[in-house]
Amino acid sequence: MQKWEVAEGNLASPRGFRGAAAAAGIKKTHGELDLALLVCDAPAATAAGVFTTNLVAAAPVLVSRQNLVESRGRCRAILVNAGNANACTGRQGLHTARESARAVARLLSLPPAQVLVASTGVIGVPLDLGLVTTPLPGLVGKLSIENASAVARAIMTTDTFPKSCVLRSEVGGKFVHLAGIAKGSGMIHPHLATLLSFLTTDALIGPRTLHNLLRAAADASFNRVTVDGDTSTNDTVLAWASGAAAAGVRPGNASWAWFLEGLTQLCQSLAKMIARDGEGAKKLIVVEVQGARKHSDAERVARAVANSPLVKTAVAGSDANWGRILCAAGYSGAVFDPNKVDIHVNGLLLCRDGVDAGFDEAAARQELDGKEVVLRLDLHQGSASARIWTCDLTHGYITINASYRT
Amino acid sequence: MQKWEVAEGNLASPRGFRGAAAAAGIKKTHGELDLALLVCDAPAATAAGVFTTNLVAAAPVLVSRQNLVESRGRCRAILVNAGNANACTGRQGLHTARESARAVARLLSLPPAQVLVASTGVIGVPLDLGLVTTPLPGLVGKLSIENASAVARAIMTTDTFPKSCVLRSEVGGKFVHLAGIAKGSGMIHPHLATLLSFLTTDALIGPRTLHNLLRAAADASFNRVTVDGDTSTNDTVLAWASGAAAAGVRPGNASWAWFLEGLTQLCQSLAKMIARDGEGAKKLIVVEVQGARKHSDAERVARAVANSPLVKTAVAGSDANWGRILCAAGYSGAVFDPNKVDIHVNGLLLCRDGVDAGFDEAAARQELDGKEVVLRLDLHQGSASARIWTCDLTHGYITINASYRT
């Protein structure tokens, strides 16, 4: 087994998958892609999902969660729309989500439980079932490997670019593939975000194993991204394995570590794209905490710094306001001695032992002007560390969110 | 004992107090008031304080906390500056805070422990001791009842208006007074905020009793305000009783409830001014939760809604996006049935039983266009309730905070 390497392609680069997208009129802007269908032609394809922890879960989340259980992790099609989240839509919303899945199942001659659904967009507005079902026959007719490229674009809402990544690794002279797409970009917060992500592979993996791998990879990636601290109603990450490459992945085996490494790499690439493309964001911020007494302390500090609106606006303005970083660490709940903390931006030391390190303002501004800013805190209390990805907070966030619904 | 009524006046309306302010050159803008001194001429004056819970506490917080203990709750003078928080300034910062208090003590012939200090402004920049001590003799010379009016202005940072409130109540034919000033307006979050508040009264109250009253009043007011979720390094609320009105307040006595009512009313008035004047804010948002199973659930929901950037930007844009409100309730950690929730803006029903109530968009926009917006959630699970004050999130917040330091 070789290292995973980045490759060209799309969600259907792993063998066994096809996809297509259409403009169904769900988004406000006429003619934009907003409905996508993904299918797997391998009858034994397995799927696993992780979903929002929000008590107010959208109808498609409830339906997909149930279908994964009913089908025992078997899945042959995923239908996804953008422009309407089908959340806070009550009984009618559940009906729409279930009937959408049934319509796909009828067209593809599948049991309805083998069809999953996902939605993203505005909350609290009924999703018109006709808008979803009318384009379905056309969508089925267009399913192809090539047309799967359009899916990443069809799931975008306020995202400014489609997020896609393909990896491959050689096993016994043949390539195994991992592919993924994702969308952000507001309501982004660990556990999870308004995040939809679909991951495909042609490796051969049982449904329980796939679920465990997905959980581990999501914890090291999507659950480490925060944009605004809001946890959405629709967060869904689905992993899907066709088995077409016949490369088996089993726990307690070298294949496990090999596959988890690829899946984690894939998810982290997508997670960083989500942070970089946070609503209104101009910069990716990586918060790295080291020297904590224990891991939970490192996590707390990293999350507090990454969630601080004052830190994020300071980075937006390229202002080396390290005091706000230390302040956020201070209210994180972690235990440390403020008089021992060092803070770096990229390689530049801003704060040593809790006080101003006497840095060069122009140099600091130059570091903060970059597209990727690493804020590193060393607590000098132990050896635990943690990393969180976020973005700066700009006027763009306000503009986007002050009139999102209307 | 009569009801408390709003009166004209300033911090020195309660008998026994005097104050003055000066432009010491600590703020960036030349000539702005930024240093204030308050004294109490009653030798037995008592004081109590509640301070930031941030592990990174500013030097003046450490010094005032210590002096309150050392003096056993006796206090004769408070020195406060704006423009520099003297936070994250290490040993040197502590020296500056202590020497400032000593300089005041020398001029007024007081033990240093009877002088408290407070600071607000930029973090991590050394505070020049000379800037503080040089104007002190002039400040002492100007101390008067009238000049105490300038103190509310001198403690402002990004506040757009001074925050002040005076109450009085008739007891046995004579008035007892309660007065308070406060400043916000970023880093505002319960327990506590970048909040400085000074409260005076001429009632006669022992230091321990005053402390308990202050805690109770702060819990019902300052700890219910949130602007941006950042808990500052400098939060300080000090209550100060001269005893000059000879109206005694003791626990287990009708005077306790009477005084607590006035103190709570005073603190709530100031807290609402702080929320209304949050950085960049155009609107005061009152989040009211009722029908919760238990109080902690009501609190969680109210705080989650009040802290949601998506809810706050929607209010800024007068967008009746009730789905975001329900979404925030859903991730708050409280237990409730989303299908039973009603949401009102002011008197208008937006969401009934967790779905769109079919409201009139124009009417909703009109409600949201007001200067004060009440978002009320009824969970229909029980009888517990909670209220939190916050403000909308606008471009102004970003503008102020992207370059606050430089």
Can you state the angle between helices A254-276 and A207-219, rounded to 10 degrees? 50
Per-residue pLDDT reduced to its tens digit, A200-210 = 999 999 999 99
Domain match, A77 and A191 both: yes
Q: Which residue has the higher pLDDT, B394 or B170?
A: B170
Residue A230 confidence class, pLDDT cut points 50, 70, 90: low
Cβ atoms B235, A331 nearer than 8 A:
no
> Quick one: pLDDT at residue A193?
41
Could you give the CA distance from residue A254 to residue A38 in angstroms, rounded to a whole number? 30
Residue A191 CA to residue A184 CA, distance in Å, equals: 14
- Sign of the alpha-carbon torsion through A146, A150, A152, A154: negative
At residue A177's C-alpha, the angle toward residues A172 and A178, to 5°, is: 140
- For tokens 């008197």, what's the residue? B347
CA distance A55 to chain B (A): 4
Q: Write out chain B residues lying below 8 Å of A85, CB-based.
A: 323
Q: Minimal Cα distance from B351: which residue of A?
A: A124
Residue linked to tokens 């801003």 = A350
**Is pLDDT at B337 greater than 80 in this prediction?**
yes
Of A160, A165, A45, A174, the residue nearest A110 (C-alpha): A45
For an interface test with B, give the residue of A28, A55, A305 to mutate (most B CBs within 10 A).
A55
CA distance A248 to A69: 23
Strand partners, A102: none
If phi > 0 it is left, if psi is from -120 to 50 it is alpha, else beta; for residue B73 that is left
What's the CA gap between A233 and B308, in Å, rounded?
A: 14
Q: Are B319 and A53 within 8 A, CB to CB?
A: no
How far apart, in whole angstroms, are the C-alpha atoms of residue A342 and residue A391? 22
What is the pLDDT averaged over residues B348-356?
Answer: 95
Split at pLDDT 50, 70, 90, the class of A309 is confident
- Residue B112 DSSP code: G
The lowest-confidence range among A200-209, A217-226, B115-124, B133-142 is A217-226
Whether B317 and A186 lie within 8 Å, measured CB to CB? no
**How far is residue B284's CA from residue B404's CA, in Å, rounded to a whole number?**
23
Tokens 């659930």 locate to B297
What pLDDT is recorded for position A104? 98
Give me the DSSP letters along A139-201: HHHH-BTGGGGGHHHHT-SS-SS-EEEEEEEEETTEEEEEEEEEE--SS--SS--S-EEEEEE
Mind giving me the DSSP string for A210-269?
A: HHHHHHHHHHTTGGGB-SSSPPPS--EEEEEE--TT--EE-TTSHHHHHHHHHHHHHHHH
What residues of A are in contact with residue B297 (Cβ under 8 Å)? none
Taking alpha carbons only, the member of B365, B301, B326 closest to residue A124 is: B326
The sign of the dihedral angle between the CA atoms of B363, B364, B365, B369 is positive
Name the average pLDDT for chain A. Answer: 91
Do B166 and B288 lie in one domain? The reply is: no
Measured in degrees and rounded to the nearest 5, phi and psi for residue B178 equal -135, 130
For chain B, the C-alpha Rg in angstroms (whole number) is 22
Mutation target vs B (from A28, A56, A128; most B CBs, 10 A cutoff): A56
pLDDT 10s digits, A340-373: 999 999 999 999 999 999 999 999 999 999 999 9
The CATH number assigned to the domain holding B301 equals 3.10.20.340
Q: Give the tokens for residue B55.
A: 């592990």
CA-CA distances (angstroms) from residue A373 to A288, A384, A388, B159, B404? 11, 22, 12, 30, 19
Cβ(A20)–Cβ(A36) below 8 Å: yes
| B134 CB-contact burial (10 Å; exposed 0-12 / middle 13-18 / buried 19+) | middle
Query: Rounded to two decimals, what is the model's pTM?
Result: 0.80
* Tens of pLDDT, residues B7-31: 999 999 999 999 999 999 999 888 9
Catalytic residue selected from A194, A200, A264, A394 = A194
For residue A49, what pLDDT is reported?
93
What is the tens place of the pLDDT at every residue in B214-239?
999 998 898 888 766 566 778 889 99
Which of B231, B249, B276 is where one domain is finished? Answer: B276
Do B229 and B304 share a structural domain? no
pLDDT for B193:
41
CA distance B347 to chain A (A): 20
Domain end among B276, B303, B337: B276
pLDDT value of position A276: 85
Half-sphere exposure (Cβ direction) of A21: Cα atoms closer than 13 Å:
23
Most confident of A192-196, A327-331, B132-136, B280-284: B132-136
Instruction: Kindly indicate the confidence band of residue B252, based on its pLDDT and cuts at 50, 70 and 90.
Output: confident
Q: Is the pLDDT of residue B373 over 80?
A: yes
Q: Give the distance from residue A316's alpha carbon to the nearest chain B alpha carbon, in angstroms.
A: 6
Asked if the Cβ–Cβ distance from B88 to A356 is below 8 Å, we say yes
B138 C-beta neighbours (distance < 10 Å), count: 11
In this structure, the answer to whether residues B238 and B292 fall within a common structural domain is no
Q: Residue A70: its pLDDT value, please? A: 96
Q: At residue A322, what are phi and psi to the nearest 5 degrees?
A: -65, -20
| Radius of gyration over every alpha carbon of chain A, rounded to an integer in angstroms | 22
Q: How many domains does chain A have?
A: 2
Does A54 score more than 90 pLDDT? no
- The mean predicted confidence, pLDDT, of chain B is 91
Whether the predicted pLDDT of B122 surpasses 60: yes
Minimal Cα distance from A52: which residue of B? B331
Residues on chain B touching A308 (C-beta within 8 angstroms): 229-230
For residue A238, list its beta bridge partners. A49, A198
A396 and A308 in a common domain: yes
Whether A310 sits inside 8 A of B228 (CB atoms) is yes
Are residues B331 and A231, on separate chains, in Cβ contact within 8 Å? yes
CATH number where A272 lies:
3.60.70.12
Contacts of A316 in chain B (CB under 8 A): 398, 402
Residues in chain B with CB shorter than 8 Å from the CB of A338 are: 55-56, 88
- B398/A399 CB distance under 8 A: no
In this prediction, residue A397 carries a pLDDT of 72
Alpha-carbon distance of B359 to B349, in angstroms, equals 7
Measured in degrees and rounded to the nearest 5, phi and psi for residue B119 equal: -140, 155
- Residue B165 structural domain: 5-276
What would the pLDDT profile of A133-171 be if each residue is shown by its tens digit?
999 999 999 999 999 999 999 999 888 899 999 999 998
Amino acid sitting at position A2: Q
Last residue of a domain, one of B276, B303, B335: B276
Q: How far apart are CA A142 and CA A126, in angstroms?
A: 27
Q: Please give the interface size between A and B, counted as residue pairs whose CB atoms are below 8 Å apart.
A: 226
Q: Is B194 a catalytic residue?
A: yes
Distance from CA of B352 to the nearest CA of A (A): 10
Q: Are residues A264 and A321 in the same domain?
A: no
Q: How far apart, in whole angstroms, are the C-alpha atoms of residue A323 and residue A321?
A: 5
The pLDDT score that the predictor gives to residue B393 is 86
| pLDDT tens track for A242-263 | 999 988 999 888 899 999 999 9
Q: Cβ–Cβ of A123/B326 closer than 8 Å?
A: yes
Same domain, B112 and B181: yes
Residues in A closer than 8 angstroms to B377, CB to CB, are none
Q: For residue range A76-109, what is the model confidence (pLDDT) as tens digits?
A: 999 999 999 999 999 999 999 999 999 999 999 9
Euclidean distance between CA atoms A363 and B100, whole angstroms: 34
Of A189, A319, A361, the CB nearest to B402: A319
How far, in Å, CA of B253 to CA of A240, rounded? 69
- 3-state DSSP call for residue B389? strand
pLDDT at B189: 47
Considering only the beta carbons, identify the residue of B56, B336, B351 that sits closest to A338.
B56
Nearest by CB to residue B319, choosing from A87, A189, A403, is A403
B135 and B145 Cβ atoms separated by less than 8 Å: no
Q: What is the pLDDT of residue B186?
A: 59
Q: Are both B164 and B307 inside the same structural domain? A: no
Q: Are residues A264 and A343 in the same domain?
A: no
Contact A185, A393 (CB under 8 A): no
Tell me the three state secondary structure of residue B336.
coil
Q: How far is A309 from chain B (nearest CA, A)?
A: 7
Distance from CA of B211 to the nearest CA of A (A): 23
Residues A141 and A226 in one domain: yes
Check residue B172 and give its pLDDT.
85
**Which chain A residues are closer than 8 Å to B338 by Cβ?**
55-56, 88
Q: What is the pLDDT of residues B265-303, one digit of tens each?
A: 999 999 889 888 877 888 999 999 999 999 999 999 999
Distance CA A21, CA A141 (A): 11
Q: What is the pLDDT of residue B227?
A: 65
Chain-chain contact of A321 with B123 (C-beta, under 8 angstroms): yes
Q: Which one is catalytic: B157, B194, B264, B394? A: B194
Q: Which residues of B touch A228 (CB under 8 A)?
A: 309-310
Ramachandran bin of A252, using left for φ above 0, alpha for ψ from -120 to 50, beta for the remaining angles: left
B105 has a pLDDT exceeding 60: yes
Inform me whether the pLDDT recorded for B195 exceeds 90.
no
Tell me how far apart the alpha carbons of residues A316 and B375 are, in angstroms, rounded to a whole number. 31
pLDDT for residue B51 is more than 80: yes
Residues B143 and B186 reside in one and the same domain: yes
| Residue A340 DSSP class | G
Whether residues A216 and A185 share a domain: the answer is yes
